Structure 1
C-alpha cells in the first residue's frame, strides 16, 4: 500500500500527546495566522482540525515575518493537569513562547516569552523534582550552537541555569528537533539531523538523566529515506506517543515529490505516522499507519479553522457581508507581499479550487500559491479576467477574456505532469486557470507546477489556494475545494 499522510498538505514538524482516549497534535505555521494548527484523533489515523493554539493577536505577531518566517516547530505536552505548548516566533524578537490551557479546545493563555533562550525547535520535559527543562537547537553569535538544554521558570520564562550541551547525533548536519522521554529506567533523546531535505533522518540516544551521558542507539537511524526508492522523501522531525494499551507509535513529516530530477514537492511537508516496537530497550519503526484514500469535495466557510492569512489574521482583511465575504486590499502595491490573501492548504496531489467573486470595487480573484512571489492568479479587473503567472520577480499574463461584470466564477485545477520521465519537461503537475460560464470552462492559461513548488520558491511551506485582493475590495460569494491523490477521482 502506498503510504499516505495522516494529516496531508503543509503540516510540518508534528508534535503529539495522548490524554485519556484522545490524541492531540500541533504543527508549524510559519508566517500564517492563526498560528499552530491543532488536531484531534481517537486512533492516530483519522485527524480533525479543531482550531489553533495561537488564535488571538495578543498571542501571535507575525506582521514582520518573511516567507517561511514566524512560528516554527512547536512541542505539545501534558503535565500536572494542563496542556503546555512551546514554540519559536522568529518574527517578533521574543524567541520562545510558552502557553498552556486546561482544555485544549478553550482559550490558551497569553504566552510567557523566553528572550534569553535563543534557538529553535524547543522541547518541554519535567525532571523528577518538577523542574521544567527546555531542550533546543541553540543559536550563538557565530550561528548554530548544537543541541542544548536549560532549566526555565515557566512563570517568567527566565533561564534558571546556563546551557548544557546534549548529544549531537550521528554526524548529520543541523541536529535539531529534540524530544526527551522517560521510559522505564532510561531517558531517551530523539532528534532530527541531516537537514529537512533529502538527507533528513531521525536518530536516538539514551542516558540515566535528562543531561545524559548519552549512549547512541545501535541501529540508528530510527527513520530515514535518504537514498531509498520511495514516494515519500525527506522523512524526519518525529515525536513518539504511547497508547493507553502500552503500545507505541511515532508521527513524523515527509514530502511527496514528483516530476523529473531533482523532483518537486508542492504540498509542503506532511505528517505521517507509524507503529513503533521496542526491542532490547530501543524503539524500531513498524508498519506505517495509512488512512483510506478517496476524493474530498467541500464548500468552504472562510471563517473555518482551515483558513489562514500571511502576516495578519484573516479578520484583518475579511468581513462577512450579505451574500458572502468582503476582502479588502491591505496595500496598494500589487507586487507587495502584503497583498490581501486568505486561503486554505492544498491537501491532495490533484486539486480543484473554485471561487465566485464580484470585483466591481477592486482588483483580485483566485490564486494558488507557495508565497507572494510564486503563484498562479486568476485576476478580475473591470470587465477583464486574466490568468497571471508570478515566478520570482517576473509576472506574466498567460491569457485573458472579457466578461460583462457582476459575479464571476474562477477556477484553478491541477493536472498530472506532462513529459517523459527522462525529460526536463516532466512537471510535478500542471496548473490550469479557467473562467467558468454558462457554456462551461474557458481555459485562460496553464503553468508548469514546478514554478509553484518548494524546490523553486525555497522555504518551508506548501501550497495554499484562496482569494486575494490587490486594490480596493472584492466580494467572495463562495469558495469550493475538491481534491484526490488519484486524478481519475477528481470531479
Structure 2
C-alpha cells in the first residue's frame, strides 16, 4: 500500500471570509511598501478589472479599475461570460504590471502598466503568440520576462486546443513572444490545469496552478524546480487545497495567489463559493486562507467561513452629477456613463431603451455587485411614457426584475415583477397611484433550521412602495435558479436600473446589506 503524504494541520486565518464579497473571482494580490493591492476578473462588464487596496488585509477599498474604457479591452461584441478573464498583478522596477487575457475580443493577451494602481493605467500592449488564458508574469534573475499561461486556446468562445500549462520568454515592449511556448508541469491529472503563478523562494522556483475545473472539483496544486523554466516536480501532498468531497460552507476553492500576510506569514488569496443549501447565490467571490511551510512545501488550511458582522448601506441620489463616479458602477460591454442619456430630466438619472431591457445582449442597464445574501435594493422611478425598473442580472438569460410603466388607464403606474430563465418567464403585476414609485428587490437566506443540504437557494422578494410608504409584495420565490450552479455564469449577480422601452427616469439608488450570513 502506498503511504499517504503527510499533511500539516494549519491554523485557520483570523480574517473575514469572504474577503471581498460578491462578483470578485480569480483574485491576484501583491504587497508593495506595506500596502496590499488585489485585482479580480470582470468578464463582459465595464469598467474592467476592479482594483482593491488594503493595509491590514481585512478592510478593502475599491480604488479604481484598470480598464475603465471600452477600447482598452474591446468588449463591444463580446459574449456573456467571455471577455476579461483572470489577471495577474505584479510590481517590477517601480512599475505596476497587470497581464490578462480578453477572450472573444481582438485584444487577446494584454499587458497594462501604471505608476499608481489607482490609475490611470496604460492603453495596454497586446502580446502576440500567447494563445491561452490566465497569464502570469515573472522575471528571472537576469530581468528576462516570462509569461506562463494555460494553453486553453479559444477562438471566439470555441475551444480549439488545450495544451496544459505553457511558458515563453516575452518582449513586453514590442508585445511578442521570443520563443515557441514550452510545456511545463500541468498538475496531478485533474481536468483544466490553469491559473499558473510563479514564485522564487529560498533558491527554488514554485509553480502554483489550479486544476479540477472551477466547480466543486476546484483545487490548488504546486510544484517546484531549480529554474523558472523547470523542470518541476509536484508536491507529495497535492492538491494542497481543495474542498472537493467535503461539506464545508466554502466550496470551489482554487485559483490562488500567494502573498506575505500582515503578520509575516504567507496567505493564499483565492476564489470560492458561499453555499446556501446546494447553490451559490452570489457565485464566485474572493477568500483567503493561511499557509505554513514544511520541508520546502506549502500547506494550506481549509478555507473558513467567517462573515463580517457589520451591515453595509449605500445611497446614491442622482441630483448629484458625481453619483456615477463611484468605481463600483458597472454596465455590460460599455461604460455606465455611455448608457446614461445626456439631457435627461434634471435631478434624475435617465436611461433610454436604445438596445433593450435587462434580458438583451447589451442592455440599457447600470448596476452594482450584490455582496450580501440578505440585501435590499431599491430605486424611485418615474417611468413617464417608457418602461423600466430594477433588476438582478447574471446574464441575458437569467434575470430578475421589477419594472414600472404608465397604467393602461392612463392614471397611476403599473408595476410588474418578472423572473426569467431560458425558455421560461413568470410575472406578477399590481398598480400604484401617482407618477413615481419605489421598486424594491429583497433577498435573504433560507429560514434557519433547514437541513444544510436541502435543495433550496436564497429567497427573493419583489415589491413596490407607494407614495404613502405602503409596501405591496408582488412575489417571493426560491432564488436557486439564479445561482452559480444553474446559470453557469463566471460572473455573479449585478443589481441595478434598466430601461426596456422608451425613456425612464431614476431619482436614486439604495443598497442595504446585512451581516454576511
TM category, shorter:
over 0.9
Task: Identify which of 250, 262, 278 aligns with 2:293.
Answer: 278
Q: Which residue of 376, 384, 400 corresponds with 1:376? A: 400
SS at match of 1:191: strand
Once structures 1 and 2 are overlaid, which stretch shifts more, 203-212 or 477-486? 477-486
In the other structure, the counterpart of 1:444 is: 474
Describe the superposition over 1:259-278 as per-residue Cα deviations: whole angstroms up to 9, x where unpaired.
3xxx1111121111122222
Whether the 8 Å contact between 1:418 and 1:429 is mirrored in structure 2 is no
Q: Deviations over 1:49-85 (max 9, x none)?
A: 1010011233122111222111000000000110000
Query: 2:354 corresponds to which residue?
Result: 330
- The within-5 A match list for 1:41-440 is 41-140=54-153, 142-243=160-261, 246-259=264-277, 263-286=278-301, 290=306, 292-300=308-316, 301-319=323-341, 322-332=346-356, 335-382=359-406, 383-397=413-427, 399-417=428-446, 421=450, 426-437=455-466, 438-440=468-470
Bigger share in strand? 1
Deviates more, 1:250-259 or 1:25-34: 250-259
- Structure 1, residues 140-182: CA drift from partner, whole Å, max 9, x if none? 5852111000111101211101111110101111000000000
CA distance in structure 2 between the aligned counterparts of 1:370 and 1:287, rounded to whole angstroms: 28
Secondary structure class of the residue paired with 1:455: helix
User: Does the 8 A contact of 2:15 with 2:58 survive in 1?
Assistant: no
Would the aligned equivalents of 1:363 and 1:381 in 2 still touch at CA under 8 Å? yes
CA distance in 1, matches of 2:70, 2:446: 41
Question: CA distance change for structure 1 residues 287 and 229 in 2, over 3 Å: closer, same or farther?
Answer: closer
Contact 2:57 2:262 in 1 (8 A): no
Kindly indicate whether the alpha-carbon contact (under 8 Å) linking 1:419 and 1:425 is maintained by their aligned counterparts in 2: no
Match of residue 11 from structure 2: none
Contact 1:134–1:151 under 8 Å retained in 2:
yes
Length-normalised TM-score, structure 1: 0.93
1:299 is paired with a residue whose SS is strand
Q: Is the 8 A contact 1:94 1:115 kept in 2?
A: no
Please report how far the alpha carbon of residue 287 of structure 1 lies from its aligned counterpart in structure 2 after TM superposition. Answer: 7.9
In structure 1, C-alpha distance between the alignment counterparts of 2:87 and 2:220, rounded to whole Å? 17
- 2:356/2:501 contact within 8 Å kept: yes
Structure 2 gaps, min length 5: 1-13, 154-158, 317-322, 407-412
3-state SS of paired residue (1:58): helix
Q: Check the 8 A contact 1:308/1:343 in 2, yes or no.
A: yes
Deviation at 1:115, TM superposition (A): 3.6
Secondary structure of 2:192's partner? coil
Show CA shifts across 1:263-299 (max 9, x none). 1111121111122222221112248685642221221
Inter-partner Cα distance in structure 1 for 2:145 and 2:133: 17
Could you tell me whether the CA contact under 8 Å between 1:317 and 1:330 is conserved in 2? no
Structure 1 gap segments, 5+ residues each: none
Larger mean Cα displacement after TM superposition, 12-21 or 94-103: 94-103
| Aligned partners of 2:56 and 2:262 also within 8 Å | no
1:124 to partner: Cα distance: 0.2
Supply the distance in 2 between the matched residues of 1:232 and 1:333 (Cα, whole angstroms).
Answer: 34
Matched residue, 2:319? none
Find out whether 1:454 has 2:484 as its counterpart: yes
Alpha-carbon distance in structure 1 between the residues aligned to 2:475 and 2:388 = 17
| Superposed displacement of residue 93, structure 1 | 2.9
Q: After TM superposition, give the deviation of residue 91 of structure 1 in Å.
A: 2.5
Alpha-carbon distance between aligned partners in 2 of 1:280 and 1:104, rounded to the nearest angstrom = 36
> Which region of structure 1 is more displaced relative to structure 2, 74-83 or 437-446?
437-446
Q: 1:464 aligns with which of 473, 480, 494?
A: 494
Deviations 1:176-229 (A, max 9, x none): 000000001100000000001000000100000011111211222221111112
TM-score w.r.t. the length of structure 2 is: 0.89
Contact 1:46 1:291 in 2 (8 A): no
Q: Deviations over 1:387-412 (max 9, x none)?
A: 11111132221x21123342210100
Out of 475, 497, 507, the residue aligned to residue 477 of structure 1 is: 507
Per-residue displacement from partner, 1:306-346 (whole Å, max 9, x unpaired)?
A: 11011111111115752231122232577522221111111
